Amino acid sequence: MAKIKFPFTLGVASGEPAPDGVIIWTRLAPDPLNGGGMPASTFDVRWEVAEDDTFAKLTASGTARAQPSGAHSVHVKVTGLRPASVYFYRFRADGHTSRVGRTKTAPAPASTAPLRIAVASCQRYEHGHFTAYRHLVADEPDVILHLGDYIYEYGKPAVPEPGRYVRPLKDSTAACTTLNAYRERYALYRLDPDLQAAHAAAPWITIPDDHEVVNNYGGRTGDPKRRKAAYQANAEHLPYRVKPSGDTMQYYRWRPFGKVLDLLVADARQYRVAGDILGPAQTTWLLDRLKASTARWTVLAQALFFAPRNPPSTDAWDAYPQSRRKVLDAAPENFVVLSGDVHNAWAARLDRGVEFVATAISSAPPAVRDDVLERNPHLAFFDGRRGYLVANVSMEEFTADYRAVAYVDRPGAPVSTAASFRAVGNKLERIDL
């Protein structure tokens, strides 16, 4: 068999940190925008984990099988690691070696050590550069939480909107409807150097929103073949612990971080039925987890704006007030919701707890009324710039820093902190900068 060209063009990633291990990921793709460029055969991929980036002494190693049916992607469940510890990892295949990735395990169950979480969402390639990730990496998070719209399925518009078509798609690009099209779209995004650097810097926990499938989809409506293709491509390109089953994939899960934080990741798209944004099974799971949580902070991470808004949204929790009420009634003290989707930064007071909404990495913002805070007295903050959020969480406090980049229409934008808040029950205290 002829030697393949350098296959690690899409970088490396880690995710789903546990106290004793993580998932590490790569994909063999010498020609990522033309079907991947791999032969239709299985390849052995050597993986290595060490406590230093020179790999002088391996902590764990093994061989995984990269198969054509999975786009030659590799998901390795690494176990036997120490809690709250930094590790480095890399892959080898056919004489080639990947870049080195850095990851970190979750703290032990009894740990009270503080945690830093970076929160990102909504990164439409055409709308701008992913410079925000460069600054996010410099903020040195323990874990990166992505709340959806990792890709956008749209084709190239016939008439691109001025100022919103910074990085063009190929002229032939149509909306993603097939597995190959979704795979190519993920490859396009994963070629971005800032996104690659963010994946190589820390473990990720991700939840899709709608554009990983199709705009504003919800429940079991639409084309099941398209949904199946979308979930498969999503799973092939991100470091999940689970795999799709046909045209469904269980994204909702619990990730504990010692005694400091219980992270409950919910899927607000896939299971919708009339009057219930989460669906019966996921609702039962979430309410049980909320009631059982004993961590200092209980965090619900999901894609959509949770707090009420005036005017209301028909595609978020406003359209499912009974679902929202059930969550708030079950929520313990020190409850925090983390959200994305709306391409703006917001902070909201809830009946029980608070909500921090991360802005978009690059996706253009919608128009917002000048009097939006006046019309919504429970909303404490709004900012329309691109960026991300950094949460610093300890046994003593939960703070959120809204990080904003100056522009996305060209690379190299500086970053600043637009505002910082402290969660105190269902109140928000603004921190002087």
Q: What is the mean pLDDT of residues 363-371?
A: 91
User: Which pLDDT does position 170 carry in this prediction?
Assistant: 85
Q: How confident is the model over 10-29, as pLDDT tens digits?
A: 999 999 999 999 999 999 99
**Alpha carbon 139 to chain centroid, angstroms:** 17
User: Which residues in 147-260 belong to E strands, given as ranges?
Assistant: 204-206, 253-257
Per-residue model confidence (pLDDT) at position 1: 53
Angle at 417 between CA 11 and CA 137, to 5 degrees: 15
Q: Which of 6-10, 220-224, 393-397 is the least confident region?
A: 220-224
Contact in structure between 60 and 40 (CB atoms under 8 Å): no
What is the b/e burial string over 320-340, where b = at least 16 CB atoms within 10 angstroms of the residue's CB?
beebbebbbebbbebbbbbbb
Residue 2 has a pLDDT of 59
Q: Which residue has the tokens 């359209």?
A: 319
Q: Quick one: CA dihedral 188, 193, 195, 198, positive or negative?
A: positive
Domain 115-430: give its CATH code: 3.60.21.70
3-state secondary structure at position 119: strand
What pLDDT shows up at residue 160? 82
Per residue in 140-192, pLDDT (tens digit) is 999 999 999 999 999 998 888 877 899 989 878 899 999 999 999 999 999 99
- Any bridge partners for residue 276, and if so which? 273
Intervals of CATH 2.60.40.380 along the chain = 12-104
Report pLDDT digits (tens) over 290-342.
Answer: 999 999 999 999 999 999 999 999 999 999 999 999 999 999 999 999 999 99
8 Å CB contact between 204 and 18: no
193: preceding bond cis by omega (within 30 degrees): no
Could you tell me the fold of the domain covering 12-104?
A: Immunoglobulin-like (2.60.40)
Residue partners of 178: CB distance under 8 A and separation at least 6: 226, 229
pLDDT digits (tens, 9 = 90+) for 24-78: 999 999 999 999 999 999 999 999 999 999 999 999 999 999 999 999 999 999 9
126 dihedral zone (left: phi>0; alpha: psi -120 to 50; beta)? alpha
Q: What is the tens place of the pLDDT at every residue in 188-241? A: 999 999 999 999 999 999 999 999 999 999 998 889 999 999 999 999 999 999
Cα–Cα distance between 358 and 337 in angstroms, integer?
11
| Token duo for residue 128 | 């701008």
Instruction: State the span(s) of the chain assigned CATH 3.60.21.70.
Output: 115-430
DSSP 290-326: HHH--SSEEEEE-SS--S--SSPPSSSGGG-HHHHHH
d(Cα 271, Cα 248) in Å, to the nearest integer? Answer: 9
